[in-house]
Chains A and B, each alone.
Chain A
């Protein structure tokens, strides 16, 4: 398999273009897939090839999600750009009480093949209303597939699978990734949902992270290696379906678990992952589980305060060191 080096945003565009060529049922609703920075140029490629299939709706997130749900029920396969993930809260009922419930409440007879793309997380100066990471809130609603890519290759592979899925899929990207580069398989590249990625192997501790926190966790693992502590970094890549086997296998190897998460710590993604391990692999643990997540405060605007609330490599290193002292 040949590969090409490209940015995360290019990889997303590759998946969209490839699938749109293959499937005329796909339409693009909303055009802020690639943020407002240099990556926004990727939308130009999509407009150029598929102009008539790209729609710019009014700023009405709830109706946009209902538009996609109705379109999917009428035979379409819409890809929706919500833009900033905090705006998904405006569309909350449409996403979690409408799209998510269609298949179940129809007794499995109707389905909603739609992708809802959004950009989550703390980014420079986003302030409280634009920095939301809603993935844990989504995870509390059955019926939604949830995807959090952390590399260009995964972005392409997971987006391809999302566009082929017959279920409503929440695709949550981090704006800090959009312009990062990596090797991406050429041609059609579909990654199965529910298979995590072991980003780094190590004997001493498992660090589980998603989205931008994978990058931060890998930085921490490098710092730990300098101290002789070998950390394994596991990225589940999709929350629904979730790779319990991959998670449990890693914890069995290392006996220690730190979960890193950009969500606010209360009932976070980290909380759910910690609970699963505590419930099912308690005997494999040599130390308590540690969560490194955002404190339960809104995201502040000012740069040093933003840095203060975000999980950092230093905080992860501190958490791992704490576990190593326990046993």
Chain B
């Protein structure tokens, strides 16, 4: 991978991170109604896979969709407005954090029911195979989705009909602390290896380091080529230790926004039990270290960060200034073709 390509990929990850740090800050100020889920720590998978896609490809994400949506090129102001329930949101305020969608981006519908993404992507892949054209459908889902029968049924059908579907299982269970201790449980599944499931359907599969953007990018590119060639579905497991802030039930940004200077020691790493995550796992810092090693000055990373942060400031201002939907909106858009 060229350094410029790597830099672009890293900036995409940083955009995802800065967006979600903003979401958590706004939630802390009471601007976000209800529960929400963040993608922090998993950015390398979304950025790398989405970077490998074509404009006509379709993506199906989950309740943890902010990262995928932003990485695909969504307008951060419209995404943020949606999370705040505003009329200018990408879904008009009807979906919120769980359901960010934009048909123009190939993300027409985001299901927040486990098993939804793999099954919807299987359906989109069915139509793509049937109608022709070089496009693929991608499902992003967590390890928990494989506990649902629907996900296994989707694997069966994709394998049966050799559909152009890339199943991206983001296994973020390493480090999960379990329901009994007040967090989300890790995988509750009777297999040691999640890839044994696609293997049972003779689906090509690979298990990857979920924080290594270059390896993920190469695997996604290979997978897309095989899918376009009609070789049948591909299953990618990307392994990511769970971000400390996602171990409890509510996102916890206890060390504040990540400081890029931590990549080189310009800023000291936080002490305590979270130090290891910053030192070894944070894909933003790891990517920054790789770029610095490739000769990119840290100052260039700070400059990119400043531009992204300014964009987020503008998006936040727009979202906060946006009106809530008028009350009559609750009764609109139940049916396509319905007069509004």
Measuring CB to CB, which residues of chain A are less than 8 angstroms from any residue of chain B? 25, 27, 53, 55, 57-58, 60, 62-63, 66-76, 78, 93-94, 97-98, 102-111, 113, 142-143, 145, 165-167
Query: B149 at the A/B interface (Cβ < 8 Å)?
Result: yes
How far, in Å, is A193 (CB) from chain B's closest CB? 10
Q: Are B109 and A102 in contact (CB under 8 A)?
A: yes
The A/B interface has a contact count, at CB < 8 Å, of 147
Additional A-B contacts beyond A62-B153, A107-B90, A107-B333 (16; CB < 8 A): A62-B149, A63-B150, A67-B157, A69-B109, A70-B119, A70-B120, A72-B123, A73-B124, A74-B124, A74-B137, A103-B336, A105-B109, A107-B94, A110-B101, A110-B103, A165-B337
A109's partner among B101, B123, B128, B156 (CB-CB below 8 A) is B101
Q: Provide a sorted-by-A list of 6 A–B residue pairs whose CB atoms are within 8 angstroms.
A: A62-B119, A67-B122, A73-B109, A93-B113, A105-B95, A110-B108
CB-based nearest A residue for B151? A63
Which of B92, B131, B153 makes the CB contact (< 8 A) with A63? B153
> What size tier do the contact residues of chain B reach?
35 or more
Q: Contact: B126 with A73, CB < 8 Å? A: no
Check B130 against A76 for contact (C-beta < 8 Å).
yes
Contacts A106-B108, A145-B335; is A71 near B126 (CB within 8 Å)?
A: yes
Beta-carbon contacts under 8 Å, B280-339 to A:
332-337
User: Contact at A98–B126, with CB atoms within 8 Å?
Assistant: no
* Chain B residues engaging chain A, CB cutoff 8 angstroms: 58, 60, 89-95, 99, 101-103, 108-109, 111, 113, 116, 119-128, 130-131, 137, 149-150, 153-154, 156-157, 160-161, 332-337, 340
Main SS class of interface, A:
mixed
Chain B contacts of A93 at CB under 8 A?
113
Are B58 and A73 interface neighbours, CB within 8 A? yes
Judging by beta carbons under 8 Å apart, are A97 and B335 in contact? no
Minimum C-beta distance from B164 to chain A (A): 11
User: In the complex, are the beta carbons of B340 and A108 less than 8 A apart?
Assistant: yes
Q: Which of A25, A67, A98 contacts B111 (CB 8 A)?
A: A98
The answer on a CB contact under 8 Å between A94 and B119 is yes
**Docked CA distance A55–B124 (Å):** 15
Which of these, A69, A106, A167, contacts B123 with CB under 8 Å? A69
* B337 contact from A53, A69, A166, Cβ within 8 A: A166
